[in-house]
Amino acid sequence: MKAGDVVFILLCYNLTMAVILDGKNLRDKILTELKVKLDRFDKKPTLVVILVGDNPASRIYVNNKKKTAEKLGINSVVLNYPENISESELLAKIEELNNDKEVTAILVQLPLPEHISKENVINAISPQKDVDGFTPYNFGKLFSGEKPIVYPCTPKGVLLLLDEYGIELEGKHIVVIGRSNVVGRPLSQMLLNRNATVTVCHSHTKNLAQITKTADIVVSAVGKNIIEGEMLKSDCVIVDVGIFKDINGKTRGDVDFESAFQKASYISPVPGGVGPMTIASLMLNTVELFEKFSA
């Protein structure tokens, strides 16, 4: 059943239902405003995406980023290297891009092949071109409660979505499920910096349901179906970051939408929630780096 079908059924039976946190709509609004801003620039930013190997999912993500950038008038360059490129060759390429005045932003599409250290590659990116906000400089700033040059894209997208719907964060108990460097960890710090009370859960967390039942806001970034409506407090806010294909090949999130929808006051769908916000944040970050360092 699709999110739209659930809304229709609940409307028919006059049942309470959550407001959908519509990431597509907000993405479109952000990109429209960004295009107006970019049209006024004489020079355009350049976003370079490094893709190693031939992972089909990565290729789709990279193509979406390129298409969105091009629609805005951001120069978009995809450097696709073979799976067997050495770490030193990749580091040399990043050094070249760091020194190239025409390059505004560098993104390395993860995952990388096993023989290449993700840490070494990310650490090699200049913090001033680190469009994902993943370098130790930007992470260090974030984790010490200071402003990084830019914030990591997916957590930034989650906060933009919550802010758009006027959802108060200060003093709220927010449960973040997942502690990766891409989502859970930076997001938990960003929420802490917004004066939320944050609990971070992970694969070793015991009694997850007992914790989620105390949450005003649940953000799930796992990649498995782990949240059912009965694990939630009434009127809570749900942000579903997870994306995976179920056994029928259907794209879905961590949260059982049907049962959570009846419990929550706001819920983000998958697809159409956080995914579009990640792309919007990437474009915002590219323009922010350009304005700070190249304009």
Count of H helices and E strands in the chain? 11, 11
Q: From the candidates 22, 128, 129, 132, which is the catalytic residue?
A: 132
Measured from the CB atom, is 169 or 226 closer to ligand NAP?
226
CB 132 within 8 A of CB 152: yes
Distances 17 to 11, 101, 228, 244 between C-alpha atoms, Å: 8, 51, 15, 25
Instruction: Please say if 28 is a catalytic residue.
Output: no
Residue 197, SS3? strand
Residue 222, SS3? coil
Q: From the candidates 22, 44, 109, 172, which is the catalytic residue?
A: 109
Instruction: Please say if 210 is a catalytic residue.
Output: no
Q: Tell me the sheet residues that pair with 199.
A: 175
Instruction: Please say if 109 is a catalytic residue.
Output: yes
Residues making contact with ligand NAP (CB under 6 A): 154, 177-180, 182-184, 201-205, 208, 221-224, 226, 241-244, 274-275, 278
Measured from the CB atom, is 97 or 279 closer to ligand NAP?
279
Instruction: With residue 77 as reference, give the H or E element that holds it.
Output: strand 75-81
CB of 247 to ligand NAP, least distance (A): 16
CB of 273 to ligand NAP, least distance (A): 7
Measured from the CB atom, is 91 or 233 closer to ligand NAP?
233
Measured from the CB atom, is 127 or 273 closer to ligand NAP?
273
How many Cβ atoms from other residues are within 10 Å of residue 282's Cβ? 26
CB of 42 to ligand NAP, least distance (A): 32
Annotated catalytic residues are 65, 109, 132
